[in-house]
Amino acid sequence: MTERNLRKTRTGVVVSSKMDKTISVLVERRLRHPIYGKFVKKTNKFMAHDDKNDCNEGDTVRIMETRPLSKNKRWRVVEVLERAK
């Protein structure tokens, strides 16, 4: 039996939950600029599968890479880390 590779996980904030069983997650990372040394924020948006429709905008969630579920969805929600206030 072959072992499965580790899947990527990301932590981000839900920016849209209007779709059915799908959320849009904004993942932010800080990189040091190669010349100036200043820290720059880079963002990526991922579509993630939310099977129970329990995530709302503003929630902090952990998402995991998975097989393609639709044209844009390649991630799924693992857990909700913090609910929006």
Residue 4: per-residue pLDDT: 76
What percentage of residues in the chain have a pLDDT greater than 70?
99
Residue 21: per-residue pLDDT: 97
Instruction: Answer for the pair 11, 27: CB distance below 8 angstroms, yes or no.
Output: yes
Domain range annotation of the chain = 9-82
Residue 3: per-residue pLDDT: 76
CATH topology of domain 9-82: OB fold (Dihydrolipoamide Acetyltransferase, E2P) (2.40.50)
Mean pLDDT, contiguous 10-residue spans, the chain (85 residues): 85 97 98 97 98 96 97 97 94
What's the helix, strand, coil split of the chain in %, to 5?
A: 0, 55, 45
pTM of the model: 0.88
What's CA 47's distance to the chain center, in Å? 7
